[in-house]
Amino acid sequence: MNIFKASEVLKIAVQIEKNGMAFYTEVKNKSKCFPVQELFDFLAKEEVRHEHTFRSLLEKTGDYEPVESYPGEYERYLEAIAGENVFTQSDAMKQIARKAVSDKEAIDLAIGFEKDSIIFFSELRKFVPADDQGIVEKIIGEEKGHLTKLLDLKKKV
């Protein structure tokens, strides 16, 4: 049973990346350590790059628009799917970033968020048609790249 189309997953990915960028920017601005600021700035830019990648993939897959029973039903549906993923909640991400006591804590939070995103997309992959699964795999690969960068940063701090 295919519940989601690749375009839906990509729209969620775009939102996750936008909010990830907000998180990394907030943490970068809070840090007093230049190397940490520099690395979080890099990660924020990576989120922007990933968002562009996902938007490009979305254009290639076409925009899936289901029939709505009422205006806004589709958007509410996507919000419900992604609502459990912290990276989809922009205000929550900024608040969490502000509460991080240290650079190490911020890095640990980011590692957890990236892992959650990888799990989220891995689970969603099961629900897209076989010919769209490669797109979801690309999303997962991009998130694994973020995780690797964060783990490298954690070793340096």
The rounded mean pLDDT for the chain is 80
- pTM for this one? 0.76
Is there a domain that residue 73 lies in?
yes
Q: How many structural domains comprise the chain?
A: 1
The 10s digit of each residue's pLDDT in 13-71 is 888 888 888 889 989 999 888 888 988 898 899 889 989 988 888 887 765 555 678 88
Is there a domain that residue 111 lies in?
yes
Q: Say whether pLDDT at 122 is over 60.
A: yes
Is there a domain that residue 22 lies in?
yes
Is there a domain that residue 138 lies in?
yes
Residue-number span of the structural domain to which 72 is assigned: 6-156
Give the list of residues 6+ apart from residue 84 with CB closer than 8 angstroms, or none. Answer: 120
* Mean pLDDT, rounded, for 91-107: 80
The 10s digit of each residue's pLDDT in 135-149 is 889 889 988 998 998
Is there a domain that residue 1 lies in?
no
Looking at residue 46, which CATH number applies to its domain?
A: 1.20.1260.10
Long-range contacts of 32-38 (CB under 8 A, 24+ apart): 33/103, 33/157, 35/156, 36/103, 36/153, 36/157
Q: Return the pLDDT at 80.
A: 67
